[in-house]
Structure 1
Amino acid sequence: MAADSSRYRPFRAWSIAVMLALMMLVNFLDKVVLGLVSVPMMRELHLSPTQFGLIGGSLNWLFSISAVLVGVAANRTSTKWLLLAMAAAWAALQLPMLAATSIWSIIACRVLLGAGEGPASPVAVHALYKWFPDEKRNLPVAVLHQGSALGLLVAGLSIPAITAHWGWRANFLILSVLGGLWCVAWLVLGAEGQLARAERAGSGSRIPYALLLTDRTVLGIFVGHFAANWILAMTLTWIPTWLQLGMGYESHMAGRMFALFVAITAPLSLGLAGLSQRLLSAGMPSRLSRGCFVSVTLIVAGLMIASLASPWFTPMEKFALLTLGSGMTLVMYSVGPAMLGEVTPDSQRGGMLALSNGFSSLAGLAAPIVTGMLIDGAGGSTARGFEQACLTCGVVLLGCGVLCVFCLDPQRSARRITHESCRRDVHHMRADQG
């Protein structure tokens, strides 16, 4: 029976992949809802752009801490029950929003929600790895991320309609119900995979975290992930507001424009990830096919995003530049973990993914607040302030992209880490014998 449970079972594995993709759909609905109800929420509660930016960034206050703690714990704890506990917390934390009237009560809800959502992505990827062998893991992880994109698409089409019919608070009740339904389905259909456990039985020794965290490629991945998360947090929080107050669209059209934004960025990021994989399969070293590839996408995206501050472009041209630039940065979320997997042992991958997510959440904390402050600094002009925020974002992307060019070389890092680890093992062996 044990041997049978450790075999790859495609149907069961893919059923888990679909369930986890649906979980990420709910996860991103929870993330983006605030941006899509920003205008009526700010008007009812008399919030300034800086205050709203503070609320938007508060999701990340405990995000990194919980991501690291739970991500590392996932190496030794059942991912089925961890995921169930997290999703149940998301559902419960939507309910106080039905009555919240002060900025601090809303911030408290978002901080706790962020603590519950911080570990979602690394734990979900870790759970998938327990069902799929190494050579079959790329596609299910891509499906997982498409659940996130689908959540944004559904949000853009549904949340403005719900707000128009029942008010902005009704969205939080519906999200609570959706989260509860997923928990019931996961309780019945979810299970713990055994494949990764069987593979780890014969895997190599662990690498000291100090060695991993001082490696140039690992640090480059952290920096690239930080840059990608800066623009993701800025757009999820502020694009709907910019479309309405900056570009003059009414709420339904702004929702459709946001859905169009997602409909373009998601396949663009998939296509770029596929191109990187084809270059690698054709024999190009990962320093070029992965490292330089994502570095160039960050640099080009930075130039595109920064150009929004120019008066030469029409509003629709600015929307196109923002959409294409955002889509290019998303490739970091698929290629970055792949590079991390090249230099990290399987038994430590969950912890390293969590550390990368945790570091990038610092950008998620800062970007919405910086954007709100720039809008306030522009005299409350959402259009001018958001364009200044795009210039700031472009500088972040450019700087991080240039750093990544010099840092990302997974094959060199793998050789270095293996050599240093063997040298330490030999040193300790000689010390023990002495």
Structure 2
Amino acid sequence: MPPPQPSELETSPLRGQGEEGLAVLVAATWVQALCSAGMLLVPTLAPQIAAAFGLPTGLVGLQVSLLYGIAMLASLQAAVLARRVGACRASQLALSLVVVGCMVALAGTPMALFVTTMLLGVAYGMTNPAAAQLLARFTPPERRNLVYSIKQTGVPLGGILAGLAAPPLASLWNWQAVFLILGGATLLTALLLQIRRQRWDSDRDAAVRMQGVGSLTVLHRHRPLFWMGLAGFCLAAAQLSLLSFAVAFMVEELFITLVAAGVIISFMHAAGVLGRIGWGMLADRLGRSLPVLFGLSVAMAGLFVLISALGGVLPQWLAVLLLVMAGATAIGWNGVYLAEVARRSHPAEVGEATAAVLVLTYMGVLVGPALFSLIVGLSDSYALGFLLPAVAAMLAIVCLANCRRAGDAGASRT
């Protein structure tokens, strides 16, 4: 008998099982890790990059905000592009932008850094919608939360790769070598994806056209997804507030050394990785994602209130434990969240729905740290600033409740 064709794989009740589903998951996770590592190279090598490009170190730090802003805009049309050319091809295009961005950075000028930032931001904005489109086709519903959660570990994995590999390589050679190595690994990955491209892109539709506001129309048509997007905004604001100011809080108010604070941050990221997988397994076990998201939001709100009110008076070990627990929740929600977005979407619109809610999520990434910084500037207290992610988590609970009500109302009408 001839081997099954892509269309047969997609309609089979066993789709996503075995080699094909595993290959999709590994590829999507690795693409996410490479693009995340590219996003974090400049912040990781900030002192060397700033000196080489003739910029203040603080200005280089603003690159992260610019990257996420560009990623937010790129995600508006990313899902449409993935449907038009295929999710695998869209992933290859994203990887190609990372390669070009790494090569441009070698020029070592402020304009080169700006162009690199633009390219990396667009690449990052393209990855999640393309991955969601692939995973929706090759993942059985009963495994969706775990698979999406594993894929989302690509984000901290990219951070670990950048944090562990970039500084030693830059010290051994120079910062240009780091960009060259990342560019080479990314190019190799893009070429390897070509092996599966025909099978994975069998659903591409060249007739799909770009829209003025891109995927945001999905939020207008589907009210539950609109509330999911707002919940993502709140949860992302809480997550980035924690990651952006945890070190400063530990050093300036808990009187922990900078080296020790760096180790604790690593533990927080590790807790987030384990959390993403654990919460995904729990959601699959329950057969529902929303209760897990509710629980995580409640836990986040409580933990941040405790950190804000008691962090400065608790023993250091207990305050650190609270921060690590906050990492497990505030960094661990993403996979279950995207799985719920996929569940509430029409199969043909999973990529567009993912892109649409990510626009609001990226807005949370930009707004959260900015408001936290404003609170710290006005109050001169990082502890007080942690009330912001607590409030954001509480608002996420409200959004999730509205999402459930909107979904129930839609189901009753049908």
TM-score (norm 2): 0.79
> What amino acid is aligned across from residue 235 of structure 2 in structure 1?
A
Structure 2 partner of 1:413: 406
Residue range with higher mean Cα deviation, 350-359 or 165-174: 165-174
TM-fit CA distance, 1:301: 4.1
- Determine if contact 2:102/2:183 at 8 Å carries over to the other structure: yes
Structure 2 partner of 1:335: 336
- Determine if contact 1:38/1:240 at 8 Å carries over to the other structure: no
Question: Separation in 2 of the partners of 1:46 and 1:316?
Answer: 38
TM-fit CA distance, 1:331: 3.4
User: Does residue 1:166 correspond to 2:167, yes or no?
Assistant: no
Matches within 5 A, 1:74-85: 74-85=82-93
Residue range with higher mean Cα deviation, 145-154 or 237-246: 237-246
Task: Look up the SS of the partner of 1:25 in the other structure.
Answer: helix
Structure 2 partner of 1:100: 108
Structure 2 partner of 1:381: none
Structure 2 partner of 1:294: 296
Question: Separation in 1 of the partners of 2:218 and 2:96?
Answer: 37
Structure 1 partner of 2:208: none
User: Does residue 1:47 correspond to 2:56, yes or no?
Assistant: yes
Structure 2 partner of 1:398: 390
Q: What is the number of equivalent residue pairs in this alignment?
A: 392
Structure 1 partner of 2:190: 183
User: Does residue 1:28 correspond to 2:19, yes or no?
Assistant: no
- Select 1:265's aligned residue among 254, 272, 276: 272
Question: Separation in 2 of the partners of 1:180 and 1:71?
Answer: 22
> What amino acid is aligned across from residue 274 of structure 2 in structure 1?
P
| 1:101-127 CA-partner distances (Å, limit 9, x unpaired) | 43x542332133111211211211211
In structure 2, relative to structure 1, the CA distance for the partners of 1:269 and 1:139 (3 Å cut) is closer
- Select 2:126's aligned residue among 114, 119, 122: 119
- Determine if contact 1:35/1:239 at 8 Å carries over to the other structure: no
Structure 1 partner of 2:323: 322
Question: Separation in 2 of the partners of 1:353 and 1:60?
Answer: 16
Question: Cα RMSD over matched residues?
Answer: 3.7
Question: Separation in 1 of the partners of 2:313 and 2:150?
Answer: 39
Question: Separation in 2 of the partners of 1:355 and 1:323?
Answer: 30
Stretches of structure 1 lacking an aligned partner (at least 5 in a row)? 198-207, 379-383, 423-434
Task: Look up the SS of the partner of 1:408 in the other structure.
Answer: helix
> What amino acid is aligned across from residue 349 of structure 1 in structure 2?
V
Structure 2 partner of 1:156: 163
Task: Look up the SS of the partner of 1:60 in the other structure.
Answer: helix
Residue range with higher mean Cα deviation, 180-189 or 255-264: 255-264
> What amino acid is aligned across from residue 348 of structure 2 in structure 1?
S
- Determine if contact 1:72/1:351 at 8 Å carries over to the other structure: yes
What is the identity percentage for the equivalent residue pairs of Structure 1 and Structure 2?
17
- Select 2:149's aligned residue among 115, 123, 142: 142
